[in-house]
Amino acid sequence: MKGVILHGGHGTRLRPLTHTGPKQLIPVANKPISQYVLEDLKNAGVKDVVFIVGGTMPEKVRDYYGDGTKFGINVNYVEQNKPGGIAQAVGLTESFVGNNDFVVYLGDNLLRGGITDIAKAFEQKKFDAMVLLCKVEHPQQFGVAEFDKQGKLQRLVEKPKEPPSNYALTGIYFFTPLIFKMIKKLKPSWRGELEITEAIQMLLEEGYHVGYRIVEGWWKDTGTVEDILEANILVLDDMEPSLETDVDGVCLQGRVSVGKNVTVSKGAMIRGPTVIGEGAVIDSEVYIGPYTSIGKNTHIKKGEIENSIVMEGCVIDIDTKILDSVIGAQTEIATNQKGPKGHKLIVGENSRIVL
């Protein structure tokens, strides 16, 4: 089985974070979201993966993953010049897939428990396609499954105004090469895209064997800042504590993971679940609260940080608290020590600030 990771899109709902890189490289618990996807595929026995890149700085994807050697998996790349839907992206992989079964995995999805058992079921049942579903509160935001009275998958509908069920497509699909035949028949939807739901619907209508599995753990589509922070909470909740640096005498509470070459001064307090990246420096007048990820080589000089993601290379020196925030790499945040108190801001478009 081969793997296809969709790594395109403009990430407009995550601006300004996505002005400088793809949304799939935003870190959750100090690891890019798409790296969780790659590792899940590897754990399922997939040895060859292709990234569909395009949109926002695809070169950063290539720089990070390379040929996959450091991740123990073969990595290839295909350009999607213009966003044209998931089905269009999948269609670009036909020569890569060849005669193999394959799994398509959206690069901004996180799945607790992984796909190993699901991949085995797909091969054992000899499905022509299989979709992974999750029960959600607002199904109209997703592709939605409809079942017959026997519980058999009957229809898939993309973002319906009146959903036929609460079971949404997760963005993880298992296919045989038969799907390419269906994709070639597609016409653009009202959104101007080739919909993968329509291609799977064709399989159903033509009598092919389409199965489904329902997510037993949690699944997270990280399309917004709020989603990313929630994903950070979910991943940290599953994290095992580890200390790669000796921090004796420092107040650590709960499950805390500390990377290599970290400096934490006495007087600082770190409350887990929290992860501190390699080379970070935490000074004495600092409180880092639960559900926080501090990126590598970041220096927290003063202040409180809680339920937040601070990416690598940041410097923070404040007299207040940072809460429910995502802070991009190489950012400096400081309290105004001179002159009248106030806020000096340089803010990208589509931002939201609460002071």
Domain assignment of residue 112, yes or no: yes
pLDDT band at 56 (very low <50, low <70, confident <90, very high): confident
Largest CA distance in the chain: 74
Instruction: Choose between 11 and 148: higher pLDDT.
Output: 148
- Whether 53 maps to a domain, the answer reads yes
Helix (H) or strand (E) holding 110, with range, is: strand 109-111
Query: pLDDT value at position 339?
Result: 61
Is the pLDDT assigned to residue 182 strictly greater than 70? yes
Given a cut of 70, is residue 14 above it in pLDDT? no
Same domain assignment for residues 307 and 215: no
Mean pLDDT, to the nearest integer, of 36-60? 91
Q: What is the residue whose two structure tokens read 């022509």?
A: 128
Predicted confidence at residue 188, as pLDDT, reads 83
Residues 200 and 64 in one domain: yes
Q: Which amino acid is at 198?
A: E
Whether residue 340 is predicted with pLDDT greater than 80 in this model: the reply is: no
Q: Which two tokens stand for residue 171?
A: 């963005």
For residue 155, tell me if it sits in a domain. Answer: yes
- Separation between Cα atoms, residue 192 and residue 85, nearest integer Å: 8
pLDDT the model gives residue 200? 94
pLDDT at position 33 is 92
* Tokens describing residue 195: 């919909």
pLDDT at 355: 58
For residue 42, the model assigns a pLDDT of 96
Domain count, the chain: 2
- The model carries a pTM of 0.89
Of 96-105, 137-146, 231-240, where does mean pLDDT reach its minimum? 137-146
What is the structure's pLDDT at 106?
A: 92
Decide if 340 is inside a domain.
Answer: no
The range of the structural domain enclosing residue 166 comes to 2-224
Question: What does the pLDDT look like over 280-309, one tens digit per residue?
Answer: 999 998 999 899 999 999 999 999 999 999
Tens of pLDDT along 126-171? 999 999 998 888 888 888 998 888 888 888 888 888 888 989 999 8
- Shared domain for 62 and 205, answered yes or no, is yes
Is 90 contained in some domain? yes
Q: Are residues 199 and 76 in the same domain?
A: yes
Same domain, 301 and 187: no
Residue 328 maps to which CATH number?
Answer: 2.160.10.10
Mean residue pLDDT across the chain: 88
Residues in Cβ contact with 210 at an 8 Å cutoff, skipping those fewer than 6 apart: 127, 128, 129, 130, 131, 153, 200, 203, 204
Of 340, 305, 298, nearest to 320 by C-alpha is 305
Which of 47-51, 118-122, 306-310, 346-350 has the weakest average pLDDT?
346-350
pLDDT of residue 84: 80
- Give the pLDDT band of residue 71 (cuts 50, 70, 90): very high
- Output the six-digit token pair for 285: 């007048």
Q: Residue 16, preceding bond cis, omega within 30 degrees? A: yes
pLDDT of residue 53: 92
Q: Is residue 231 one of the residues assigned to a domain?
A: no
Whether 339 maps to a domain, the answer reads no
The separation between CA 15 and the C-alpha centre of its own chain, rounded to angstroms, equals: 15
pLDDT score of 93: 95
CATH number at residue 107: 3.90.550.10
289 and 250 in one domain? Answer: yes
Q: Which two tokens stand for residue 273?
A: 């679940």
Statement to judge: residues 145 and 263 lie in one domain = no
